[in-house]
Amino acid sequence: MNLTTESAQLVKTLLDKQRHPVSPDSPPSEMKTITWVAIRDFTVEEGKRQIEEYIQTWELLPCWLHSLDFLCSTEKEHSTFHHYEARFSTTTWRKPIQGTASVYFVVYIPQVRPHTLPVEVHFAVESNRLMHTPRRTRFREGWLVDVIDSKTLLRNAVNL
């Protein structure tokens, strides 16, 4: 199985967090979010539907388009991880063909928790190692712009 670096990093961070739990450092700020499905009701399609619903809470300009794909499921240390990729792009009259930026989601289902608890969802932006959590992180449109700009600079530097 060939996971993206970002997906593999999300799994590693979640497993480390499970081994060494930390207390919440500060209360989450008020932001739009959704109520995640209970572990017992989770399906791959429901996960995709809920991630779509969550993306709609992000304050993105309407010019951003995205697609969401289920990548795979993996199991490690009595936990199941469902991997998704949301690929974002924007086109304008100045730049009709634009690059893409991906956001990788992992739905984390520990097998030792009560099945009435909600699934855990975490995400990472392409080329970043920082793991984000809904309710704790406010998504920034600038993250997508930075990824696309970096790819454009790299492409121009190597003359592709």
In b/e form, how buried is each residue of 7-20, taking b as 16+ CB within 10 angstroms? bbbbbebbbeeeee
Give the pLDDT score at 110. 93
Let me know if residue 83 belongs to a domain.
yes
What SS3 class is residue 24? Answer: coil
pLDDT at 30: 59
140-159 tens-digit pLDDT? 999 999 999 888 888 888 87
Let me know if residue 116 belongs to a domain: yes
Tens-place pLDDT, residues 87-101:
999 877 776 667 899
26: in domain: no
Q: What pLDDT is recorded for position 25?
A: 46
Task: Flag whether 134 is in a domain.
Answer: yes
Give the structural domain span for 79. Answer: 5-18+32-157
DSSP assignment, residue 132?
Answer: B
Number of domains in the chain: 1
Mean pLDDT over 41-58 rounds to: 97
Strand partners, 155: none
In a domain, 23, yes or no: no
pLDDT digits (tens, 9 = 90+) for 2-30: 577 777 777 777 677 665 554 444 444 55
- Is residue 92 in some structural domain? yes
Whether residue 24 is contained in a domain is answered as no
Q: What is the pLDDT of residue 160?
A: 53
Check: pTM over 0.85? Answer yes or no: no
Is position 27 within any domain? Answer: no
